Each structure stands twice: as structure tokens, then as C-alpha cells.
């Protein structure tokens, strides 16, 4: 049986994490049908093709859903962000967790650390 090139080298999540380590937020783009997807996978969720490329995300999005999580360490926000390219991802929106609103425009940045993470800020926030 011939080897499947989709499984040569690091998997899609490892490639995504490597890009984050370099400060680049990427999503997958299907070379066959043009669909954008997140999280990374070995096949396209739209057409099931295997020709996927990692491309830089615009970093633009809108809050699709949000909640405030409270703990002894304090409150923080967990949101689902609908990216401008179409996919949705779970992330935090920086700032006051109570101020995050559904539909609010947000912009991504890669927060350094181990591991690095994508976080969002409300557009116009400093």
C-alpha cells in the first residue's frame, strides 16, 4: 500500500503550533474547494480532500458566544470567535470579561508563552 502524503512529517496541529511559536496565527485553506477551516485537520471538512495549506489568518473576527468564568484567581472570559475567514475558534478576549459582547469586533494576536496562544482584543481597545 502506498504511503499517504498527508501523514508525512509533523501533523497539522504541530505545524499550527510551530507557526504560533513564530508569532504567526494560521488557519487551513483547502486547495481543492477553497474552504477555510479551524482547527487544523488532515482532510477538508467541506470536500474531504487532502490538499490543505496553512495560510496566515487576517486576525479579524467577531464574538459569536461568550461567558465569564469565575474562580478563586478571579474572573476571565471564554469566547467563541467567528473568524473573518469563516471558521470559529475558542479563545479569550482580553480586558474586562463582563464587557465582552456578542457581535463585538475583535482582533487576534499571538500571546507568547509555552505554549503560545491566540488571544483577541476588542477593536479600538488599547
Query: For 15-54, what is each residue's pLDDT tens digit?
Result: 999 999 999 999 999 999 999 999 999 999 999 999 999 9
Residue 89's H or E segment, with its range, is strand 88-91
Q: How far apart are CA 126 and CA 123, in angstroms?
A: 9
Tell me if 63 sits within 8 A of 103, measured CB to CB.
yes
DSSP annotation of 112 reads: P
What is the reported pLDDT for 107?
A: 98
Q: What is the pTM of this model?
A: 0.86
- State the residue for C-alpha cell 500500500: 1
pLDDT band at 1 (very low <50, low <70, confident <90, very high): very low
Tell me if 26 sits within 8 A of 116, measured CB to CB.
no
Please report, for residues 3, 32, 62, the alpha-carbon distance to residue 65 in angstroms, rounded to integers and kept in the order given: 41, 30, 9
Average pLDDT, the chain: 92
What is the reported pLDDT for 8?
A: 61
Residue 105 phi, psi (nearest 5): -75, 135
Structural domains in the chain, sorted by start: 5-56 (no CATH), 60-122 (2.40.50)
What is the reported pLDDT for 106?
A: 98
pLDDT band at 103 (very low <50, low <70, confident <90, very high): very high
Tell me if 66 sits within 8 A of 102, measured CB to CB.
yes
What is the reported pLDDT for 126?
A: 54
What is the reported pLDDT for 105?
A: 98
117 pLDDT higher than 60:
yes
Amino acid at each position: 500500500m502506498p504511503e499517504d502524503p498527508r501523514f508525512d512529517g509533523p501533523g497539522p496541529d504541530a505545524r499550527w503550533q510551530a507557526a504560533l511559536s513564530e508569532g504567526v496565527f494560521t488557519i487551513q485553506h483547502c486547495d481543492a474547494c477553497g474552504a477555510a477551516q479551524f482547527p487544523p485537520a488532515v482532510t477538508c471538512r467541506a470536500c474531504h480532500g487532502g490538499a490543505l495549506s496553512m495560510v496566515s489568518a487576517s486576525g479579524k473576527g467577531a464574538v459569536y458566544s461568550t461567558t465569564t468564568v469565575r474562580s478563586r484567581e478571579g474572573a476571565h472570559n471564554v469566547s467563541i470567535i467567528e473568524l473573518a475567514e469563516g471558521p470559529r475558534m475558542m479563545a479569550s478576549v482580553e480586558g474586562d470579561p463582563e464587557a465582552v459582547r456578542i457581535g463585538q469586533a475583535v482582533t487576534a494576536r499571538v500571546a507568547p508563552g509555552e505554549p503560545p496562544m491566540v488571544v483577541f482584543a476588542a477593536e479600538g481597545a488599547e
